[in-house]
Amino acid sequence: MVRDATEAAIRAVLNEKDFLNELDDKIGDGDHGLNMARGAQAAHEALAELDEEAGLKEVLQAVGEAVTANVGGSAGPLYGAAFSEAARVVDEDCALDAATLEKIFTAMVAEIQKRGNADRGDKTMLDVLIPIRDSFAAENCAGKSFEDILTQARDAARDGLEFTKTIAARKGRAASIGDKSIGCEDPGAASSLIIFRALCAVWKDSLRE
Ligand SMILES: [Mg+2]
């Protein structure tokens, strides 16, 4: 199921390559879709090398290494490092639940904050990833089904991307155009939502099987 979800996320990134390039073209250098597609293809090839039974930790590790080794730009290395850090913090046989997802997104956010020296409100992927992390916090999940928790996280991610339209970029290439970036979605935030939405769809389907 981890593998199915990851492959779905890879397909989603490949499908949205042109859309992500267009977003990046408005406020950056127009290569985010290309970089993400390169990472997705590398991740797909890395997964093919893994054992059928590979769990979450191994999948995250393989994807992190593949993305780091193959993707340039600003977002690629951040994603690669974030996936590798997520792999480091999860247990070998962890269940896919809110607690595990909180652990993963906490690690990813911390790694991206450290390397990118960015925070919420800077118009980056963190504007999607931090709301996802927060939605998995124990106090926000009490008494809810896993399906409802995923819906809540996906909605928070979508709202996070909408938020990036309302603010000026303070990090990366887009920062150089400042207020002119208002009205545009951040491409990195968009790719984070695309990946997360695809993962959620597979996880939700698996709950109904
Ligand atoms: Mg770019």
Residues 70-103: tens digit of each pLDDT: 998 888 999 999 999 999 999 988 899 999 999 9
Confidence of residue 63 (pLDDT cuts 50, 70, 90): very high
Burial of 121 (0-12, 13-18, 19+ CB in 10 A): middle
- Length of the chain in residues, anyone? 209
Spacing, Cα 112 to ligand 1 middle (Å)? 17
pLDDT of residue 209: 76
Spacing, Cα 140 to ligand 1 middle (Å)? 34
**What pTM, to 2 d.p., does this model score?**
0.97
Mean pLDDT (the chain, rounded):
95
Spacing, Cα 23 to ligand 1 middle (Å)? 9
Spacing, Cα 30 to ligand 1 middle (Å)? 5
pLDDT of residue 48: 96
pLDDT of residue 55: 93
pLDDT of residue 194: 98
Spacing, Cα 125 to ligand 1 middle (Å)? 13
Spacing, Cα 186 to ligand 1 middle (Å)? 11
Spacing, Cα 176 to ligand 1 middle (Å)? 13
| Cα(66)–Cα(61) distance, integer angstroms | 9
Burial of 79 (0-12, 13-18, 19+ CB in 10 A): buried
**Comparing C-alpha atoms, which of 28, 123, 39 is closest to residue 79?**
39
Spacing, Cα 51 to ligand 1 middle (Å)? 34
| CATH number for the segment(s) 2-208 | 1.25.40.340
Question: Which tens digits make up the pLDDT trace of 16-39?
Answer: 999 999 999 999 999 999 999 999
Spacing, Cα 208 to ligand 1 middle (Å)? 39
* DSSP alpha helix (H) spans, the chain: 2-15, 17-27, 32-49, 56-70, 75-89, 98-116, 126-135, 138-141, 146-165, 187-208
Residue 57's identity, in one-letter code, is: K
- Dmax (CA) for the chain in angstroms is 49
Domain residue ranges of the chain, discontinuous segments joined by +: 2-208
**Comparing C-alpha atoms, which of 111, 114, 116, 119 is closest to residue 89?**
111
Instruction: Calculate mean pLDDT across residues 130-158.
Output: 98
Question: Which tens digits make up the pLDDT trace of 159-177?
Answer: 999 999 999 999 888 888 9
Spacing, Cα 31 to ligand 1 middle (Å)? 5
Confidence of residue 9 (pLDDT cuts 50, 70, 90): very high
